[in-house]
Every structure is written in C-alpha cells, then in structure tokens.
Amino acid sequence: MKEENKGPLNQPSTLKGPGDDAAVIQYGNPRFVVSNHILLEGVHFDLTYFPFKHLGYKAASIGFSDLYAMNAVPRQLLVSLGISAKISEENLEEIYRGIRMACDRHETDLVGNNLTSSLTGLTLSVTVVGEVCDEEVYRHTAHEGDLLCVSGDLGAAYLGVQILEREKRLFQENKDFQPKLEGYDYVLERQLKPEARRDIPDLLKKKGIRPTAMMSVSTGLASDLSRLCSLSGLGCIIYEHKIPIAEPADLVAKELNISPMVAAMNGGEDYELLFSVSIKDYQKLIGWEDVSIIGHLVAPGDGMHLITENNESVDLQGLKVV
C-alpha cells in the first residue's frame, strides 16, 4: 500500500494510522501502540530449512522490533495461524514454543491465538500491543541537518538466506548430499532468529537523546532510508565506510561473490533500528560501539546518495543485490 493511501481517520482516539511501523491509539494514559504483520510460507520463509521454533521466535521478534521503532514497549501479543495438512501437532507446538521464548525475552504476554485450516501453506499473523515510553517517535519527523544512525550491523540476514538456499539447491540435486552449515553461525542466526533491539530505546533515554525519527530496518537500508526521507520530505547523504558490516558477514559475502555493501543496503530482514538525531547530540553518540553514524539528512532537492570509498556519489535507489 502506498504511504499516501491511508484514508480518513474516524476516531479521535486514533493518533496514527497506516504509514509507520505501528499505529498509535489513545484512550487515556498511556498511549498504546499496535503493530500487525503476516508471514506466508513460500514468500517469507521456506520450511525446507526453517525450524518451526525459530519461525515462531522470528514472527514475534518482527512485531517487537516495530514497537521499539516507535519508542514503545511491547506488552501483549496475539497470533493467528493458518495450518496446512502437513503441519503436525508437534510442529505447531514448536511454533508456539518459539513465540513464547520471544515473549519471555521481551517480557510480553501471549494473550490470544486463533487456528484455521489453510490450503496454501502455513500462514502466521502476529499482532503486538504495547505502550509508549515517554513519547512516541515517528518516521516523518526528521529535520534537515539531522544525523542518521543505525544500530548493530547490516546485511547478515540476507547472506544467511543465501547460504540456506545454496545448500537447498545442492540437496535437491543430490538427495544424499549433507548440508554444510558449519562456520556460518552468525549469518544463519541473523536470518533464522533475529533479535529485536529493545536495548536501543533504553540507551537513547539514558544518554539523553530523543530521536527525531526512527524505524525498523526490515526491507534493506536503502529502501527503509528512502521511506524515512520521503515521509520527512528530505534527502540524505550516507557514506560507504560508515555502514556497519560484521566481519563474518563480510567473509560470507566474498565467498558468495556478493557485494557486502549491496547486501547491507538491499538485503533486508536485519531488524536493526534506523534513526535520526539532532546534530546537537553528536557528542553523546561518541563511543557508542553498537550504533553507527552513517550520514545526515539534507534538503529534498539534493536527493538520496551513497558516497563510496572512492568518493563517488551513487543514487541509493540504483543499488541492487547481485
């Protein structure tokens, strides 16, 4: 759905509808945040190599990441499952085990579940409800001159799925083939069991930093940054040497003959937090090892560009995974 196709809001309690990581609703105090997403077999995951417990954990983590991106804390989770005939009771219990593990980690209650039959494979729909910490943070409120920051590292989740797909192809060609996954632990975990960054909003508050805009990195830095810039009516300049890429991911990218930078920019499913802060907060960011300042926001007419290590300017929308 296009960002502008949001339609009118009929209820005064709806403070924010479509177009952000989550909706914001207020019936009094505090304000509530609600996020919903759906995962489809064959589109978002492949049961050939995706463990059911990890699938449940990941489904919940995606919702938690949306709420942290709004500066909110998850409190309750509801899940609906469409179950095909091939899903056993044991498989189902593994999915719920993964969901409960994620809920326990993020101190969230599983308060509802719904099951129905499916003729098109396994479907998971997850809704997460939480409450705002101090004040919610949106995607559209960044300012020209703000610094652009990202937590953790990028590109590993995409590289993880490339390894899994490679081993799947080899197995399909030879049923006696034993998948070789040793040495790929980091990128595989980033794909199969991502961790929502609950620590980032807490640390921002402790450092006295209030992001001017924030969002979860789900579809790749280039796409998500483009969305943040578009909603804020701004352009951006980011720098290749500032984009955080973990050493294990860099090694896997080279093995697969994939540019680690392009994987980071377009790969997706990292679920790190992308946020902007005032230039006045620069000193507070120094020494924060798990957050990288990758660039800054500029006037909308200046476009969105990546400055390479060779000092060349590349249009962000021209980057493609190869």
The domain ranges of the chain are 14-132, 147-318
* pLDDT at res. 1: 45
Task: Compute the distance between CA of residue 316 and CA of residue 298 in angstroms, rounded to an integer.
Answer: 14
pLDDT in tens, 113-149: 999 999 989 999 999 999 998 899 999 999 999 999 9
* pLDDT at res. 321: 46
Contacts of 171 (CB under 8 A, 6+ apart): 177, 179
* pLDDT at res. 15: 78
Name residue 235's amino acid: G
> How does the average pLDDT of the chain come out, rounded?
92
For the domain 147-318, what is the CATH code? 3.90.650.10
Q: How confident is the model at residue 322 (pLDDT cuts 50, 70, 90)?
A: very low
Contact 297, 308 (CB under 8 A): no
Task: Compute the distance between CA of residue 20 and CA of residue 136 in angstroms, rounded to an integer.
Answer: 11
pTM: predicted TM-score of the whole model, two decimal places: 0.91
In the predicted structure, residue 89 carries a pLDDT above the cut 80: yes
Q: Which ranges in the chain belong to alpha helices (H)?
A: 52-69, 89-105, 156-173, 185-192, 199-206, 221-232, 247-255, 260-266, 282-285
- What's the rounded mean pLDDT across residues 10-14? 76
Tell me if the domain spanning 14-132 has CATH number 3.30.2090.10.
Answer: no
Contact 230, 214 (CB under 8 A): no
* pLDDT at res. 162: 97
